[in-house]
Amino acid sequence: MEKLTSLSDGARVGFFGLGLAVAFAAAFLLGSAFDPAETGAGGSHQEGGGHSAAHERSEETEMTAHREHQATETAPGGLAVATGGYALRVASTHLEPGEPGKLRFQIEGPDGEAVREFDRLHEREMHLIVVRRDGAHFQHLHPELDPGGTWTAALTLPAAGVYRAFADFAVDGDDQTLAADLFASGRFEAQPFPASAAVVETDGYELRLEGAPPLAGQPAELRFSVSRDGREVSDLQDYLGAKGHLVALREGDLAFLHVHPDAQEEPGVIPFTAHFPTPGRYRLYLQFQHDGEVRTAEYTLAVRR
Ligand SMILES: [Cu+2]
């Protein structure tokens, strides 16, 4: 029987929720084994020890459950339409480019039925991210749930191409990010990721990304300072219960990293801790609210080995 050692746990680590990333980093730096029980990650079963035949069966059951639980928490999300017992079923995957349309979908649960009850996660029960496969045309939507378990979002795919729709939600305390492709037929002009730059401008705001260059597999501090007309913006408003919302997508497969901010310590600076699983380039979509409007700034970020 395969045994999960703390080493293989460590090797599997992709991305954690923020608190876990920090907790794990501490454990990792101290060289101690990662014990989910210590971090409140779920299972209280200590892995890696020997086990007797008498306990093998129950341990196996627990380990399987634990492994599945871990996989959903640590592997990058957004690569599968179905995983961890849940499936994303999209009713309408073809939309006319530039035409206002509707996206309807259900989350099918382990029992094969549409899930009707979701946890509230960052103030919403469902976060829907839509982005074209080349990283262009990012949208962050909050669909509405009907009593039968069908989610509906007004959606326009602005230009032709293949898009990725990420459904980010939690059920019974388990976070899931499932994703499906959407299609807008027509002549597709693919855009490369823009070159990496520390400063980007959006809607008259200047956003500067500070902090050391991130390394793969390690917690990375990302600090975005926001200014307008040369002056620091010190009155950022809350958006989804925080000063900012950050999605990172990996180049090549659009693996999805949902990163939430650290507590704001300086006005005008939005700090995050991200965990990039592998070296390469990522497209970052930072959302913040000011003067009553949500703005999105986009970065290309190179993550080194
Ligand atoms: Cu959202």
Question: How far does residue 298's CA lie from ligand 1's centre (Å)?
Answer: 17
User: Residue 76: pLDDT band by 50, 70, 90 thresholds?
Assistant: confident
Helices (H), the chain: 6-12, 18-29, 36-39, 53-74
- What is the Cα–Cα distance from 121 to 91, expressed in whole angstroms? 24
Question: How far does residue 226's CA lie from ligand 1's centre (Å)?
Answer: 21
Question: How far does residue 213's CA lie from ligand 1's centre (Å)?
Answer: 27
**What is the predicted pLDDT for the residue at 70?**
39
| Mean pLDDT value across the chain | 81
Question: How far does residue 176's CA lie from ligand 1's centre (Å)?
Answer: 13
In this structure, what token pair is assigned to residue 256? Answer: 């999805």
**What is the predicted pLDDT for the residue at 261?**
81
Question: How far does residue 288's CA lie from ligand 1's centre (Å)?
Answer: 12
Question: How far does residue 263's CA lie from ligand 1's centre (Å)?
Answer: 19
- What is the rounded average pLDDT of the residues 133-148? 97
User: Residue 74: pLDDT band by 50, 70, 90 thresholds?
Assistant: low
User: Residue 229: pLDDT band by 50, 70, 90 thresholds?
Assistant: very high
Helix, strand, coil abundance in the chain, percent, nearest 5: 15, 40, 45
Q: Is the pLDDT of residue 5 over 50?
A: no
Question: How far does residue 121's CA lie from ligand 1's centre (Å)?
Answer: 9
Question: How far does residue 59's CA lie from ligand 1's centre (Å)?
Answer: 37
32: Cβ–Cβ under 8 A, 6 or more apart, which residues? none
Question: How far does residue 126's CA lie from ligand 1's centre (Å)?
Answer: 7
- What is the rounded average pLDDT of the residues 241-269? 90
Cβ-contact 25, 218 below 8 angstroms: yes
Question: How far does residue 128's CA lie from ligand 1's centre (Å)?
Answer: 6
**What is the predicted pLDDT for the residue at 99?**
97
**What is the predicted pLDDT for the residue at 36?**
31
- What is the rounded average pLDDT of the residues 11-36? 35
User: Residue 162: pLDDT band by 50, 70, 90 thresholds?
Assistant: very high
- What is the Cα–Cα distance from 233 to 255, expressed in whole angstroms? 31
Q: Is the pLDDT of residue 35 over 90?
A: no
User: Residue 287: pLDDT band by 50, 70, 90 thresholds?
Assistant: very high
Question: How far does residue 203's CA lie from ligand 1's centre (Å)?
Answer: 21
Cβ-contact 13, 41 below 8 angstroms: no
User: Residue 293: pLDDT band by 50, 70, 90 thresholds?
Assistant: very high
